[in-house]
Amino acid sequence: MKLFLDTANISEIEKGLQWGVISGVTTNPSLVAKEKASSFHEHVKKIAEIVKGPVSAEVISTKTDDMIKEARVLSALDPNIVIKIPMTKEGMSATKKLSEEGVPINVTLVFSPQQALLAALAGATYVSPFIGRLDDIGEDGVGLVYDISKLFLVHDFNTQIIAASIRHPRHVFEVAAAGAHIITLPFKVLEQMFNHPLTNIGIKKFLEDWEVYIKDHGN
């Protein structure tokens, strides 16, 4: 099981890597736009150089041929680039073609087990169910991960599940238990995962007790 960061922010990526728990990054057009980088391609290349693990970069075309052209340009930026393609008919045609050429594809905007099945059949390396966005409309995001995991296990698919659209640390535990191979996190959720009041209280108490001991006995 692996954790990725769902961000295009360089400083967040550097911190996540420094903490030793992040092994990949996913981006999407909204996340990249937020960074206001002067060149999308240069920015993605920079991320891939820093991460040295899978970095998903999304195509913005909607037609198969245009997606394939875009994917080839993105792929050439770094060997670790994974192409993110939306779950559409055009997208699955592009997924099939690119997968056959050995380009790793992450099928995104997946909201049902049926869509995940289509992505796997088209040859996707990864499939990204959006947990939080399903919860937002009163559906069961974690349940979706469980269903996809079961389908892939029963039918022996190699496609890996990247649980995306994660809103809080509880989601992380739940999707991991439901069978996600990878969880891609907003930086805020990664930071929240470190925190527990009893850890802080525990550290404070250990240091206080140590101070008393040192005062009484010296080094």
Question: In the bound complex, what is the minimum distance in angstroms from residue 7's beta carbon to ligand G3P?
Answer: 9
Q: How far apart are CA 86 and CA 9, in angstroms?
A: 22
Question: In the bound complex, what is the minimum distance in angstroms from residue 200's beta carbon to ligand G3P?
Answer: 28
Q: Which is nearer to ligand G3P, 137 or 207 (CB)?
A: 137
Q: What angle do CA 127, 40, 166 make, to 5 degrees?
A: 35
Interface residues with ligand G3P (CB under 6 A) are 6, 26, 28, 130, 132-133, 164-165, 184
Positions annotated as catalytic residues are 84
Q: Which is nearer to ligand G3P, 94 or 131 (CB)?
A: 131
Q: Which is nearer to ligand G3P, 58 or 97 (CB)?
A: 58
Question: In the bound complex, what is the minimum distance in angstroms from residue 99's beta carbon to ligand G3P?
Answer: 20
Q: How far apart are CA 53 and CA 82, in angstroms?
A: 10
Question: Do the beta carbons of residue 67 and residue 91 sit within 8 Å?
Answer: yes
Question: In the bound complex, what is the minimum distance in angstroms from residue 136's beta carbon to ligand G3P?
Answer: 8
Q: Which is nearer to ligand G3P, 126 or 152 (CB)?
A: 126
Q: Which amino acid, one-letter code, is at 179?
A: G
CB environment 193-205: b (16+ within 10 A), e (fewer): eeeeeeeeeeeee
Q: Which is nearer to ligand G3P, 68 or 107 (CB)?
A: 107
Q: How far apart are CA 62 and CA 57, in angstroms?
A: 15
Question: What is the DSSP track for 48-83?
Answer: HHHH-S-EEEE----SHHHHHHHHHHHHTT-TTEEE
Q: How far apart are CA 167 and CA 95, in angstroms?
A: 28
Question: In the bound complex, what is the minimum distance in angstroms from residue 12's beta carbon to ligand G3P?
Answer: 14
Helix (H, G, I), strand (E, B), or coil: what is residue 147? helix
Q: Could you tell me the maximum CA-CA distance found in the chain, to the nearest angstrom?
A: 76
